[in-house]
Amino acid sequence: MILHVENPGMLSSIQDRGRLFYRAYGLPTAGVMDRRSADIANLLVGNGDDVATLEMTLLGQLFASKAVGFWQLPVQILAQN
């Protein structure tokens, strides 16, 4: 599937689990703000828990997805709050 970002919205970012063992070298842990939600999101789509997730904090995101393969069925995901 291809995910096309029409509008990223405000303060959206791609986050992984962070750098857990590099604080001694001056690097912050960083990573997702809500690890449990990121793990659940990856579980729902069949990813491993080490796959980065899309973290969205404010409104305005707009995405369009397109299946790649035999069927070529376009799908749009529109969410408004």
Strand 53-55 to 13-15 pairing: antiparallel
- Ranked by mean pLDDT, the top range of 24-28, 56-60, 62-66 is 24-28
With bands split at pLDDT 50, 70 and 90, how would you rate the model's confidence at 36?
very high
Please tell me which residue, 72 or 37, carries the higher pLDDT value. 37
Residue 33 C-alpha from the chain's centroid: 12
Closest CA to 32 of 10, 50, 44, 45: 50
Q: How far is CA 63 from CA 4, 7, 8, 22, 71, in A?
A: 6, 7, 8, 34, 20
3-state helix, strand, coil in the chain (%, to 5): 15, 25, 55
Q: Please tell me the pTM assigned to this model.
A: 0.63
